[in-house]
Amino acid sequence: MQAEEETGILLGERGELGAGHVGGWKRAHQIPTAMMAIISDIHGNYEALQAVLEDIDSLNIKQIVCLGDVVGYGPDPVECLEIIQKICRLVILGNHEEAVLKGCPPNFNPKAKRAIDWTRRILLEDGVPRDVSEQRRKWMDSCTTQTRIEGVTYVHGSPREPTREYVTPRDAMNKQKMKEIFAHLEDYCFCGHTHTPGVFSLDGFTHPSDLFDLYMLGTDEKCLINVGSVGQPRDGDPRGCYVTFDGDTVLWRRVEYDVEKTIKKIYDNPELDDFLGDRLREGR
């Protein structure tokens, strides 16, 4: 996969989104400077994804960008992948999609690797028709590693290493690391990957709770904005997390979903470690 820059994104315009289903797309066009939703790190959590999409629809937002990791960890990779294929005309490649396609890198822990191996089989191998498997493989392989729209960059990990690099709140204390990352950042960048929402500047890290869940672009010369995780939050709040963005203002939203239903699916799947369910209840 080659990293690339684009001046715009092709996205579709959604039809009506009703409870329990996703509307079709009517046409493709470039994103205007208007309200959009930015989601990330769904991780095969169908219940969380559905709840977030219903929240997005309640705001009458028609444009959705996904910053990757649609699959991995969770019990419903097929359902989540199929939904994202329908509703997003831009999906950034996540490290879990990369692992499905190319194998797990050495830094994957055993629980994550086991989940990826099962996810790969479910998506591409076990009883999957060849044409379906090939379509899913081609779709994941077509996801860009980064893109740029109207002065804003979108990645999964970081502007320095778009797919795999973690930028955690603790890293804000590592001035050298942050200086090197910000050297690759022109101005503003949205990311996911760590499942911890917030804003990084050269002055440090700020959680949305300290910003009243709202951030205005322009207050810092450069910033890295983590949109949080839809399907596996790790900031102590189990609710799904995403942002809305209108070109100037970022607003984090938290959405309750049936956590116990997802946890039971994980417990009932012998290929997924129970820990992957337990952490959803705690938001860790």
* Residue at 274: amino acid letter: D
- Tell me the average pLDDT across 198-211: 95
Indicate if the pLDDT at residue 272 is higher than 80. yes
Indicate if the pLDDT at residue 13 is higher than 60. no
Q: pLDDT tens, 51-68? A: 999 999 999 999 999 999
- Which residue's entry shows tokens 């951030």? 215
Query: Distance of CA 199 to CAs 73, 244, 251, Å?
Result: 25, 14, 12
Ramachandran quadrant class, 236 (left: phi over 0; alpha: psi -120 to 50; beta: rest): left
* Residue at 198: amino acid letter: G
Which two structure tokens, joined as six digits, stand for 152? 């804003």
The number of beta carbons lying within 10 Å of the beta carbon of residue 79 is 15
Q: How far apart are CA 13 and CA 31, in angstroms?
A: 10
Residue 220 confidence (pLDDT): 56
Mean pLDDT of the chain: 88
- Tell me the average pLDDT across 112-122: 97
Indicate if the pLDDT at residue 17 is higher than 50. no
Given pLDDT bands bounded at 50, 70 and 90, which one contains residue 112? Answer: very high
Given pLDDT bands bounded at 50, 70 and 90, which one contains residue 219? Answer: low
Looking at CATH, the fold of the domain delimited by 32-278 is given as Purple Acid Phosphatase; chain A, domain 2 (3.60.21)
Residue 42 confidence (pLDDT): 98
- Tell me the average pLDDT across 257-271: 98
Of 39, 8, 44, 6, the C-alpha closest to 191 is 39
Indicate if the pLDDT at residue 89 is higher than 80. no
Residue 25 confidence (pLDDT): 28
Would you say 238 and 283 are in contact if contact means Cβ atoms under 8 Å apart? yes
Q: What is the pTM of this model?
A: 0.87
- Tell me the average pLDDT across 160-177: 96
Q: Which residues contact 230 (CB under 8 A, 6 or more apart)?
A: 39, 40, 41, 42, 43, 45, 48, 49, 52, 240, 241, 242
Would you say 229 and 199 are in contact if contact means Cβ atoms under 8 Å apart? no
